[in-house]
A and B are shown apart, each in its own frame.
Chain A
Amino acid sequence: MAAPKCGLSVFLFILFGLTITTLADGHGSTLTDGQNAGAADSPEAAEPAAERPVLEERRWEATEVQEATSSDAADGKQETSPPQTVITPSVPQPKDDFQEELVIRPLHSGDIYASFQFRTLWETDFMRGNKVSHYRLFPKSLGQVISKFSVRELHISFTQGYWRTMQWGQPFLPSPPGAELWVWFQDTVTDVDATWKELTNVLSGIFCASLNFIDSTNTVQPSASFKPLGIGNVTDHRFLRYATLPREIVCTENLTPWKKLLPCGSKAGLAVLLKSEKLFHSSFHSQAVHIRPVCRDWQCRSMSWELRQTLNAVFDLHTSGQGKREWSLFKMFSRTLTEACPLASSSKIYIDVTDNPEVLFLSFDLSPATSLLSQAVVLGDRRTFSVYDLTQQATFGSVRSLNLLIRWKSSDGDMLRPLLHAERYVAGYGLQAGEIHTLMYNHHPFRSFPVLLLDSVPWYLRLYIHTLTVTSKGKDNKPSYIHYQPSKDRVRPHLLEMLVQLPPNSVTEVTVQFERALLKWTEYTPDPNHGFYVGSSVISSLVPSTVAMDTNSTQEMPLFSSFFPNKEESSYFVRVYTEPLLVNLPTPDFSMPYNVICLTCTVVAVGYGSLYNLLTRSFQIEEPNPGLAKRIANVIRRMRGVPPLS
């Protein structure tokens, strides 16, 4: 698989070398969509030439989308590439490596999307039996978790807010509102549920979050939606656990432990920007930790552990004051950059400049200008990025501080509509029944594609699964695969997984009716009138790429290269989360227990009791009781032997 890719990248380089001035030094750049699209460098190429004076100082760097495994292989190789300011570890075994990067994408709405990724790669094996005790870059707390609980993969995200797909496009790393945790365990684990329980409690402590509220009532084992992202072909979903806490509120207390996992903490490098007072002044905030095993080298004979910490934030144009379409690092984070993390092998900032198609007609200004450009296919769309390498002193200029400034010149231009998006709501009124509607939009003009829908509904909404309907374009759309696990009261939630084909340019509606259960009075939350949350449904899909859709590409491509859709680019993995639901259950008036107890007791004692008496007793006229005097007289008369008085 790697061979054609290398060939293609070599070809691309020759192409660039011929058309424009090319001076590329191979720098690692990693752009991921979180699933299987990593990005890695092409081999170095340097062809000095000076034909085009306009683009003279531009340097191009081509980037390819590759499978995660091969990208990691490439990274492993790239480890030794020369231009790195990092101090190589004095102890050569085991090797570890840290990279940091920030991607900034100006959005059409005027908002701005900042995505941090920090990657620590460690060539060690926690499972090998010999105890790993010496930690350098990899956080010890997580390392111990991996070895103690035999974790194969761990993905945890904390999100505050909802990603607005229709305004912002697809995120690099999707995550549902609240907390999400999914873990693949090693197949050596015997009691998965107990290990999971323990693990959630430990993670709860590490991340200072309420993950300990994960129990069997909100844990599911998806059969198809969550596949391992690292190496290993274990797909037995007995070893998978997935849980969400849609109510979890994310704040600084979660950010601090997350930052502590970074080798440089928040002392140096890109993490300097992560100040909570600005970070939580945004429209969207999401932080995540992904741990997975990856191949150490090309042949994948041994493995490394990868820790990827990501943080995404969207800053709002309107609430940030002024309303001017102008962003800078300082305005976003109230900090500027002065240095890279000294432990990092690579430290870069990417600015998405795809919307600046021509040099002469810019829709926004970028200052300071950079000479380095990079191209990547991200989420099925070919994007161009300006790259700032923080390991180069030149980047910081004479003021020794980097404050990127993006200034819009015009606000027109429209966004490419995301091909897949979804929404969900509760229909109906009253506190007895209701209906969950899930709408999935396929905006592709001519291709249909299948999606996997995962719904996990708490037991207190009793789904009537016989009312499940899937319709698109007014017609019944029969799912080709349904996995349904009914709920058990107070034990486990409903799990519904479906494989649905979405016709082109359509809306597919999944509806299922439910009944609201009456909880026991101790089972209500402290604020029962707020409602009860139902976690987001998860829609996973391989979406046909827009690059493949683009037939008359503006990119200069030779005709012979663009006939068959390129395999890597023809479809890409997307995971979409719908909004969580807030459902009101029938709730007693908790201020009234005393009154209710009194009233009930009164009704039972006075009303029911005496009515019951009246109805069941047989009444008979009693002989009038003889008076005391008469009774005494009778006793005397009996003693005298005279017949008693009547």
Chain B
Amino acid sequence: MGLLSDPTRRRALISLLTRLNAPICVVCYMAGVAWFMGLAFEPFTLRTYMSENAMGSTMVEERFPAGERALATGREFSAHKKRVGGMPVDWLVKTMQARGLEVFTQRFSRTLPFPDEDKERYMVKGTNVYGILRAPRAPRTEALVLSAPCSPGDHNNQAVGLLLGLASYFRNQIFWAKDIIFLVNEHDLIGMQAWLEGYHHTNTTGMDWSPLQGRAGSIQAALSLELSSDVVTSLDLILEGLNGQLPNLDLANLFYAFCQKIGVLCTIQGKLQRNDWDSVSGYSHAVQTMMLMVLKQASGRPWGDHGLFLRYHIEAATVRGINSFRPYKTDCTTVGRLLEGMYRKLNNLLERLHQSYFFYLMPSLSHFVSIGYYMPAFGLLAAILLLRALDLWVQLSAAPQRDEDGVTDVEQTAPGVLSILTPLVISHLTGAALYSLPVRFQDVAVEHFPVSETEAVVLTAIAIYTAGLALPHNTQRLLSGEGTEQGWKVLKLLALLYLAVLLGCTALINFSLGFILALSLVPVAAFVTPHIPKLLSAVVLVLLSPACTLLFAVFFFHELQETPVSFHEGWLLYLSVISQGILDHCLYGSLLFPLAALLLYPCWLLFWNILFWK
């Protein structure tokens, strides 16, 4: 900073920065992307290790013997489920009671803002059943949760069977220090949301639920179990929760440690770990795994039933059994032993999981990238915005200085407040319309156009988004005079800082989202001026807008999952992703939709406005 106190050196530094601004920006961008890609390279990452001493050194034995019986219970459950045509509440209550649990039920109902066509539901009514295993000589202050969803069709029967099998085995043990809640939730996330809201007696989303009768204190950790086959080839760990929240890394470590100990194949993002990190294919495998995690996290939606626990500061993950065509299979007993081991170690916890990282990316289950390593990638991208802002600032402050002799010019060059404020206000109003109108006017849309409610919502959203592109025209009409050269510079300066703050905050909460948005929005923000070829840059600007980023992300995601989709399928998926995003916001309070509609889109519109500045 001494550098800056010296006017001559300051001038030199500033002139260097302004002169080399464009090259520095390009270098920063390249460096940012390169840094990010380097994160997946194994020598640059850390091995995972158990930070929590209470779970590390203490040995536990896994003795769960009753896998076959659990499967039989699962079959019984499926038969009852089929007969009742939904959740067999009475049977579950009776079965749990017979196993010595305190059993309670919770009814809930919810009408979605518009029909969910993916899961074919609109008016949802259901019941959660949960049994509490009371730990001997514990005062009901701490609990662990094991949950399994009661899914329609033939899914997850084995999960419920194993849950009941574990319940009866756990009940006979003396060593529990925390109560264990065995939860079977109906209508997956909606049921989970109802249960969690009931347990914590909050109501954030306006759902109807009956109050819970039994509680077990503060929940320390939770696992959600998804098993749809009698034998599995591997177990997949799902970490990404609501708004990109992740559970403490120790939970993933725990799962990995027990998979290693018991000898179960384990995957993350459905991808096995490979040992050939030094080969190109090994590296690209790690990149793919990490990119999948980044995309999932950026989407801000819960990728398993565990996702909603994270809001309540409960470390949670979903364990999903995968049955592929590999020859080596793992039976239910082994899965049960794995879960038993995990619960016994969680039971040993003295404190909440807090020792390890909460912000991380995982290129494989055994390696992780901590926040200190991935933040520079984002920082390099965000630096571009600040550099451009500095450049503009210098230009703006230098302009009057140069004209100091000609007093008359000063008055003219100062842009009116109105010319800045108008685009700002109009773009935000468009954003607010994008946020509120699609759901509110779905009835009107259904009346006038031959579409279903869901289509109406999505298409209205897209229509409003597109209509926003006519904004510059409208803004110009509102403004009386011509926009000045100074005018767009001030507006761009403002927009740059706005975007920098916005992306910075987003990246702190959800790095993946912040990074992906920075990748697409930073080039736009950096190079847009009214003086570049209009048509070409307009096309580029639209392609890099948030909506198109989402479209690319959909294709990219399916490419990474090795299920490529055609353009038409991709488009349909894109529409359903938009409707899911809006639903996630209404049902679970996901923040991506409001963030995009109320802040990102208006910010992008400002740049669009600059391009068409007159």
Answer yes or no: are A and B bound together in one complex: yes
CB within 8 Å of B: which residues of A?
160-162, 164, 166-167, 177-178, 246, 280-285, 316-319, 321, 323, 423, 425-431, 435, 437, 527-531, 533, 579-584, 587, 589, 591, 606, 609-611, 613-614, 617, 619, 621
* A281 CA / B100 CA spacing, docked (Å): 17
Q: B212's closest neighbor in chain A, by CB?
A: A425
Distance between B483 CB and nearest chain A CB, rounded to angstroms: 33
**Pairs A-B, 10 closest by C-beta atoms:** A610-B1, A177-B139, A427-B201, A529-B351, A161-B137, A582-B141, A579-B140, A160-B137, A530-B351, A283-B136
* A455 CA / B345 CA spacing, docked (Å): 34
* A609 CA / B134 CA spacing, docked (Å): 58
Interface readout for B345-374 with A: 1 if CB under 8 Å, 0 if not?
Answer: 000001110110000000000000000000
| B102, B136, B172, B174 pick with most chain A CB within 10 angstroms | B136
Q: Does B329 contact A (CB under 8 A)?
A: no
Residues of A within 8 A of B350 (CB): 527, 530
A613–B5 CB distance below 8 A: yes
Residues of A within 8 A of B355 (CB): 591
8 Å CB contact of A529 from B171, B215, B352: B352
CB within 8 Å of A: which residues of B?
1-2, 4-5, 7, 100, 102, 134, 136-142, 171-174, 200-202, 215, 217-218, 311-313, 350-352, 354-355
B5–A617 CB distance below 8 A: yes
Distance between A253 CB and nearest chain B CB, rounded to angstroms: 15
Given contacts A318-B100, A319-B172, A533-B141, contact A582 B7 (CB under 8 A): no
8 Å CB contact of B200 from A429, A579, A587, A614: A429
Residues of B within 8 A of A281 (CB): 174
Distance between A177 CB and nearest chain B CB, rounded to angstroms: 3
* A435 CA / B217 CA spacing, docked (Å): 14
Given contacts A427-B202, A530-B350, contact A581 B137 (CB under 8 A): no
* A151 CA / B200 CA spacing, docked (Å): 43
Distance between B140 CB and nearest chain A CB, rounded to angstroms: 4
Residues of B within 8 A of A425 (CB): 201, 215, 217
Distance between A551 CB and nearest chain B CB, rounded to angstroms: 30
Q: Can you add 16 more A-B contacts, CB < 8 Å, to A429-B312, A617-B5? A: A161-B136, A178-B139, A246-B139, A283-B136, A283-B137, A316-B136, A319-B136, A319-B171, A319-B172, A425-B215, A427-B201, A429-B200, A430-B313, A580-B141, A610-B5, A613-B1
Residues of B within 8 A of A428 (CB): 200-202
Residues of A within 8 A of B313 (CB): 429-431, 584
Residues of B within 8 A of A579 (CB): 139-141, 217
7 contacts between A and B (CB under 8 A): A282-B137, A427-B201, A428-B202, A530-B350, A609-B1, A610-B2, A617-B5
B1–A317 CB distance below 8 A: no
* A589 CA / B356 CA spacing, docked (Å): 11
Residues of B within 8 A of A621 (CB): 7
* A606 CA / B3 CA spacing, docked (Å): 12
Residues of B within 8 A of A580 (CB): 139, 141
A162–B351 CB distance below 8 A: no
Distance between B362 CB and nearest chain A CB, rounded to angstroms: 22
* A368 CA / B211 CA spacing, docked (Å): 48
Residues of A within 8 A of B200 (CB): 427-429
Distance between A425 CB and nearest chain B CB, rounded to angstroms: 5
A280–B201 CB distance below 8 A: no
B1–A283 CB distance below 8 A: no
Residues of A within 8 A of B138 (CB): 161-162
Distance between B548 CB and nearest chain A CB, rounded to angstroms: 36
Q: A164's closest neighbor in chain B, by CB?
A: B134
Residues of A within 8 A of B172 (CB): 318-319, 321, 323
Distance between A441 CB and nearest chain B CB, rounded to angstroms: 10
B311–A284 CB distance below 8 A: no
Task: Provide the main secondary structure of the chain A interface.
Answer: loop
Q: B311's closest neighbor in chain A, by CB?
A: A429
Q: A536's closest neighbor in chain B, by CB?
A: B139
Q: A507's closest neighbor in chain B, by CB?
A: B211
B312–A584 CB distance below 8 A: no
Q: A424's closest neighbor in chain B, by CB?
A: B215
Q: B176's closest neighbor in chain A, by CB?
A: A319
B1–A584 CB distance below 8 A: no
Q: B2's closest neighbor in chain A, by CB?
A: A610
Residues of A within 8 A of B1 (CB): 606, 609-611, 613-614
Q: B174's closest neighbor in chain A, by CB?
A: A319
Distance between B538 CB and nearest chain A CB, rounded to angstroms: 40
Q: A246's closest neighbor in chain B, by CB?
A: B139
* A524 CA / B355 CA spacing, docked (Å): 16
Residues of B within 8 A of A282 (CB): 136-137
Distance between A151 CB and nearest chain B CB, rounded to angstroms: 28
Q: B133's closest neighbor in chain A, by CB?
A: A318
8 Å CB contact of A610 from B4, B137, B171, B215: B4
B218–A426 CB distance below 8 A: yes
A285–B201 CB distance below 8 A: no
B201–A283 CB distance below 8 A: no
Given contacts A427-B200, A579-B217, contact A284 B2 (CB under 8 A): no
Residues of A within 8 A of B171 (CB): 318-319
Distance between A165 CB and nearest chain B CB, rounded to angstroms: 12
8 Å CB contact of B218 from A321, A423, A582, A591: A582
* A284 CA / B140 CA spacing, docked (Å): 12
A582–B136 CB distance below 8 A: no
Residues of A within 8 A of B141 (CB): 531, 533, 579-582
Given contacts A319-B173, A425-B201, A582-B142, contact A529 B354 (CB under 8 A): yes
Q: A579's closest neighbor in chain B, by CB?
A: B140
* A137 CA / B419 CA spacing, docked (Å): 96
* A141 CA / B82 CA spacing, docked (Å): 68
Distance between B397 CB and nearest chain A CB, rounded to angstroms: 15
* A283 CA / B176 CA spacing, docked (Å): 11
Residues of B within 8 A of A423 (CB): 215
* A576 CA / B312 CA spacing, docked (Å): 30
Distance between A191 CB and nearest chain B CB, rounded to angstroms: 34
Q: B196's closest neighbor in chain A, by CB?
A: A429
B134–A283 CB distance below 8 A: yes
* A330 CA / B524 CA spacing, docked (Å): 81
Distance between B495 CB and nearest chain A CB, rounded to angstroms: 25
Residues of B within 8 A of A614 (CB): 1, 4-5
Distance between A566 CB and nearest chain B CB, rounded to angstroms: 34
Residues of B within 8 A of A319 (CB): 136, 171-174
Distance between B73 CB and nearest chain A CB, rounded to angstroms: 17
* A610 CA / B100 CA spacing, docked (Å): 68
Residues of B within 8 A of A530 (CB): 350-352
* A581 CA / B102 CA spacing, docked (Å): 20
* A606 CA / B1 CA spacing, docked (Å): 8
Q: B199's closest neighbor in chain A, by CB?
A: A425
* A91 CA / B172 CA spacing, docked (Å): 54
Distance between A331 CB and nearest chain B CB, rounded to angstroms: 14
Residues of B within 8 A of A246 (CB): 139
* A416 CA / B122 CA spacing, docked (Å): 43
Q: B213's closest neighbor in chain A, by CB?
A: A423
Residues of A within 8 A of B215 (CB): 423, 425
* A424 CA / B215 CA spacing, docked (Å): 9
Distance between A174 CB and nearest chain B CB, rounded to angstroms: 14
Residues of B within 8 A of A617 (CB): 5
| B138, B141, B200 pick with most chain A CB within 10 angstroms | B141
* A530 CA / B201 CA spacing, docked (Å): 22
B217–A284 CB distance below 8 A: no
8 Å CB contact of A429 from B4, B7, B142, B202: B202
* A530 CA / B140 CA spacing, docked (Å): 14
Residues of A within 8 A of B218 (CB): 426, 531, 582-584
* A617 CA / B1 CA spacing, docked (Å): 13
* A450 CA / B584 CA spacing, docked (Å): 47
Q: A285's closest neighbor in chain B, by CB?
A: B137
Q: B140's closest neighbor in chain A, by CB?
A: A579
Q: A251's closest neighbor in chain B, by CB?
A: B137
* A609 CA / B4 CA spacing, docked (Å): 13
